[in-house]
Structure 1
Amino acid sequence: MQRKTILTVAAALALSAITGCVMYFASPAEVASDTADKARQNSTAQLPRQDSVIATNSSTQPLLQSPASAAAGNVMHQEMLNLLNRSQSLRAFVYEAQKHPELGGYLYAGYVLEICRNFPYPPDPVQVKADVKSAIAAQIQAQSALAARCDMSVQELKTAQEQMPAFDSRKPYDADPQVALHHNLLVAETPDAKLAAINAILVNGDALELNLLSPFVMIKDKQGADQTAHYFDGQWYVSQGDKNKLYLAQDLAMCNLGLDCGTNSTRGLVLCANRGYCGDTAIDAIRNGLATQSANSFDDVMTLANRLSAAFSKKNAHAFMIPDHK
């Protein structure tokens, strides 16, 4: 494998929480286009209020077998996680989270802002053919529900993003202890320093931090183009199918660690709106989405998800440490 440069998802998402870069689960095909942004700007005010669209009975129970309860996590972030799990208005959550960086508010606000910036905006029903509308009805419904839950125009998203540390030097990285942890990993130069930074993140134990700990390198494919190769616990994920398997397993593992993935959960809506993987819960959505694919079986994704959550809960830093390679 030809190495070009080494990064980590931890570094990438620490930056995304601060600068607005796309998070790991937002593939290029999932990022909203300029046209969609204009539709948001023009139409968000006409959307029904979210409390008329979204039910409030989302389950907060883990969906997978876990070696440790989410309640064992650091008390510092548990309040913020609980607030996110209860929130039916992501707009309100962002503004509240930004008031409390000491509880991980910047990391959580960045996570939600990326969701609200990057899901495909629901199309104009008049412009969708009847047969197409029927085939993607659930996805359109999820996009509409997510738009109502976010309830933020392009300008409001931009303004909220400008409140993050990178846009205001008066708000240093250490204002949010969780963002500071990922900044430390970003700047770590030696293997010992990187391992110590990973250990600190695992000790903190926030469910959102799992997807920050899948290291990757940039490599050259056979045509000389750059591509990412992810690593976890002795295995590389290079092909698009393998990387998709890892991304979905990270989704399920975060559910296992305490993120709400039940009925009408934001995580479930994102899977349906972005990927067309739809179901009553996030786990149902992934099961249904993989049912028509041969590249990855649901059992394979579930097995990897349990390995991820076990390594995270047992604080196995070496599983998330990229090996030296040429």
Structure 2
Amino acid sequence: MTFWLTALLVWVAAGARVGRVLVKPATTARVAIVVAVAAVALACTAAIPDVALAVDNLLPGGLPPGRLSEGVVVAAWLLFATATSVVASAAWPVVSRRNLRQIASCIYGMGLFAVIAGLSTSFTAAWVVTAAAALFVIVTGLRNLSWTALGRGIAVYITGTVLVVLLAVGQIQRGMAGAARPDPGRPAWAWPFWQVAALLIAFGAVWIVVEMWTRARLLLRRVQTLHKVLVKRFPEVVQEETGTSTQLKASDRVAQILDALYLQSGGGVEIATAGEPPAAVSARAEQVAQWARHPLGRVVVDSRWIAPPEGMSPRGWVQAIAAAFEAQPEAVKRPDASVR
């Protein structure tokens, strides 16, 4: 059951990457990621004992038991390393978009040659090429790590690739030592570690998609009350939404909240009694939130307060206002008649 579940999850990740290519320009790097994740999914599928046994029965006798299914797995992992090398090549400064396609063609050509040569002679040679290509990917990935959504995805992807290198080295040692192949229908060598590597690679490939979707959902939930109050007050800020995806909807909500606050402040008019906004983001957000709830109360705010503080994104600023809006005590939410 574990084999089937792992293969299913990796195929889902491959499908997610295909969907990303369909909605965005199909660049060489994006297509290479699809190929890499699909190759990992193929390797996981061919490594399932029942599937491996069925693959070995496709051809008549003449091949050693398990030779064909093992060859599919080796070729799939080599294809993964080749396709990921194309993605890694795009990250180097010396490679431009203009010559990336030519470089990718050369890399795919060398990968195809390695597959043919390795499968026709010895699987050990194919594992050597896989390990070497994966090492190039690891070095490139370490150079591009950062604390961003993309950087975190790269870190997870590289962790899986490191495990692939270690397992490929183990396969090389086994091949040089002449270790016997597992019996047909039995799990391959170190199969739990291969599954972990495949899941890490698949998760790393879709990390940015999952994280951006999760952050958009959290943003929609956090600004829901503030958005509802302001849109009811200024319905003209709601226009036709640019898309139905969660990320686009979250961007629309942020823009609508800022537009409504701008209209409530007088459309760019500076008010002397408002004063300069404080440097502290929390104090500024608390004042704006209180004014957003009760525009005729004691708090006075103009357009200078509405603009995001320096170094802060509109999304982060709107979330800060929404958090302060929700955290207001009941005495502020329901002022007495004299305040109103």
TM-score by length of 2: 0.22
Identify the structure with the greater helix proportion: 2
Identify the structure with the greater strand proportion: 1
Which has the bigger relative contact order, CA under 8 A and spacing at least 6? 1
